[in-house]
Amino acid sequence: MYVCVIGTGYVGLTTGAVFADLGNDVVCVDKAAAKIERLRQGIMPIYEPGLEEMVKRNVEEGRLTFSTDTAAGVKRSDVVFIAVGTPPAKDGSTDLSQVESAATEIAHALDKYKIVVNKSTVPVGTGDFVRRVIEKNKKSAVEFDVVSNPEFLREGSAIADSFHPDRIVIGAPRQNVAMALLELYAPLERPMLITDVFSAELIKYASNAFLATKISFINSIADICERVGADVSLVAKGMGADARIGKEFLQAGLGYGGSCFPKDTLSLIHTAKALGEKIDILEAVVATNDVRTNRFVARILEACEGGVGGKRVGVLGLAFKPNTDDMRDAKSVEVIKALHAEGAKIIAYDPISTENAKPMLPPDVEYASSSYEVARDADVVIIMTEWNEFKLLNLEKIQAMMSNPVLFDGRNIYALDRMDRLGFDYYSIGRRTIRGRGRVATTAQAGTDGRAVT
């Protein structure tokens, strides 16, 4: 099948590469000429494990091309995917200007029947909006259909999610239109749900809002755990063992970030208000998420006697989650800015996202080339992103390099008994605080349980 994907961002590029890998002839188009030229050279605009290799393979085998010519891409294709950005507006609504622009370009190039697919995350009713834009701007009486086909990709595992999705949702105006999309996805042999366009659009927002709710819920439970001395990881494990609840998205931490959950929850709230409805529960979800970093910073300031002014604070992790270079709504930005405002000297390290982070952070932030460089002479080290390499650090070495072995873990990546044994002051989320007794004890100083004695 001939496919055109408009937009070469995270969703568009992944979608185009995957469809090409399934044997289709795909052209990805974008107005940004520099980006297209870099893609032709094999330079990816985003970091996603496995994506670069997939793009390279399909370009070499002639199934995937890149272009700035939207009209040519539309004319050669049977199916046209709109995968452009839909950023949030100041009032929480979704900015559909890029979707409108893409629909207008499709209309101008429409020369025969096409299926136009909204792949971008868009509010309910956008299918009708796209149809109106195309009807208004098309040059001749050519038929077309508009379909909603929301994506459910997780950054950092998008390739695996694309080939093994939990479900494929196709919102189409008629059964025969849905069948054309089913043919495109058939090689995946995954569950497919055919709905009307409105329902498909709402499924995406409802899914993300529900996952955001789980995150805010477990973070609220974590706050209670800290008060009573319970362990939120055990509470979450007990909850997740219930098949009605499930274990996913019950990891306590600094709240949700990234490109989807923040804007999608706000957009759904805005949509509900526009329809004369209220979703009080989502208002609470957003409010809970908004205070997570403030609470974390307050704990750091409280633990650092005399505040952090003049202290060297190491930050491990900048991206909003591991295996991506995405800095959108990254909690590291909020924490670093808050501590910097208190006079802290910040040194940070991230395996991938440092260059993307620099424009968003104070100009005097230092950037290290390794985790151990971050720890050198640090008064405090903070874990902000749960990269695997941080889980595998030599913590004895980290402790020996620090001026003061105080570690704040915003992602709960270390076991409490281990941190207790090593002698760190260790603060995590929803778990008891470990009060270290200085550096690692010598054999002569250690008690029978391996802990330092005084």
Q: Is residue 253 in a domain? A: yes
Q: The whole model's pTM is what?
A: 0.90
Considering the domain architecture, whether residues 77 and 90 belong to the same structural domain is answered as yes
Question: CA 187, CA 274: separation in Å to the nearest integer?
Answer: 40
Q: Is residue 447 in a domain? A: no
Considering the domain architecture, whether residues 153 and 271 belong to the same structural domain is answered as no
Q: Which helix (H) or strand (E) holds 349?
A: strand 345-349
DSSP state of 157: S
Report which of 31, 28, 35 is spatially closest to residue 14, judged by C-alpha positions. 28
- Choosing from 261, 290, 319, the residue where a domain stops is 290
Considering the domain architecture, whether residues 67 and 31 belong to the same structural domain is answered as yes
Here the tokens at position 353 are 């996202």
- Residue identified by tokens 């890998």 is 21
Cβ contacts of 62 within 8 Å, gap of 6 or more:
none
Q: Is residue 339 in a domain? A: yes
Cβ contacts of 42 within 8 Å, gap of 6 or more:
52, 55, 56, 59
Question: CA 415, CA 269: separation in Å to the nearest integer?
Answer: 38
pLDDT (0 to 100) of residue 153: 86
Here the tokens at position 266 are 């706000």
The total of other beta-carbon atoms located within 10 Å of residue 392's CB is 10
Residues of the chain with pLDDT under 70: 437-454
3-state secondary structure of 314: strand
Considering the domain architecture, whether residues 208 and 188 belong to the same structural domain is answered as no
Q: Is residue 388 in a domain? A: yes
Report which of 302, 316, 294 is spatially closest to residue 386, judged by C-alpha positions. 316
Report which of 131, 206, 209, 133 is spatially closest to residue 172, judged by C-alpha positions. 131
Q: Is residue 451 in a domain? A: no
Classify the C-alpha dihedral 378-380-383-388 as positive or negative: positive
Considering the domain architecture, whether residues 130 and 258 belong to the same structural domain is answered as no
Considering the domain architecture, whether residues 183 and 257 belong to the same structural domain is answered as no
pLDDT (0 to 100) of residue 361: 98
Q: Is residue 147 in a domain? A: yes
3-state secondary structure of 49: coil
Considering the domain architecture, whether residues 329 and 423 belong to the same structural domain is answered as yes
Here the tokens at position 33 are 């000429």
User: What's the pLDDT tens digit per position in 320-375?
Assistant: 999 999 999 999 999 999 999 999 999 999 999 999 999 999 999 999 999 999 99
Cβ 106 vs Cβ 135: under 8 Å:
no
Number of H helices, E strands in the chain: 19, 14
Here the tokens at position 401 are 């390099």
Considering the domain architecture, whether residues 222 and 326 belong to the same structural domain is answered as no
State the burial class of residue 62 (Cβ atoms within 10 Å of its Cβ: 0-12, 13-18, 19+). exposed
Classify the C-alpha dihedral 44-45-50-56 as positive or negative: negative
Q: Is residue 446 in a domain? A: no
CATH of the domain at 391: 3.40.50.720
- Residue 308's domain spans which residues? 293-427
Q: Which helix (H) or strand (E) holds 381?
A: strand 380-383
- Residue identified by tokens 């040194």 is 347
Considering the domain architecture, whether residues 276 and 340 belong to the same structural domain is answered as no
CATH of the domain at 210: 1.10.1040.10
Cβ 104 vs Cβ 138: under 8 Å:
no
Considering the domain architecture, whether residues 246 and 298 belong to the same structural domain is answered as no
Q: How many domains does the chain have?
A: 3
Q: Is residue 434 in a domain? A: no
Active-site residue identified among 4, 28, 225, 260:
260
Considering the domain architecture, whether residues 271 and 322 belong to the same structural domain is answered as no
- For the chain, the straight-line distance linking the first and the last C-alpha, in angstroms and rounded, comes to 73
**Residue 125 falls in which region: left (phi positive, over 0), alpha (psi -120 to 50) or beta:** left
Here the tokens at position 87 are 């950023």
DSSP state of 434: B
Q: Catalytic annotation on 304?
A: no
Considering the domain architecture, whether residues 66 and 13 belong to the same structural domain is answered as yes
Here the tokens at position 322 are 């591991």
User: What's the pLDDT tens digit per position in 180-233?
Assistant: 999 999 999 999 999 999 999 999 999 999 999 999 999 999 999 999 999 999
Question: CA 387, CA 322: separation in Å to the nearest integer?
Answer: 5
- Choosing from 262, 290, 318, the residue where a domain stops is 290
Question: CA 446, CA 437: separation in Å to the nearest integer?
Answer: 11
Rg (CA), the chain: 25
Strands (E), 73-220: 79-82, 114-118, 144-148, 168-171, 192-195
pLDDT (0 to 100) of residue 438: 47
- Choosing from 256, 290, 324, the residue where a domain stops is 290
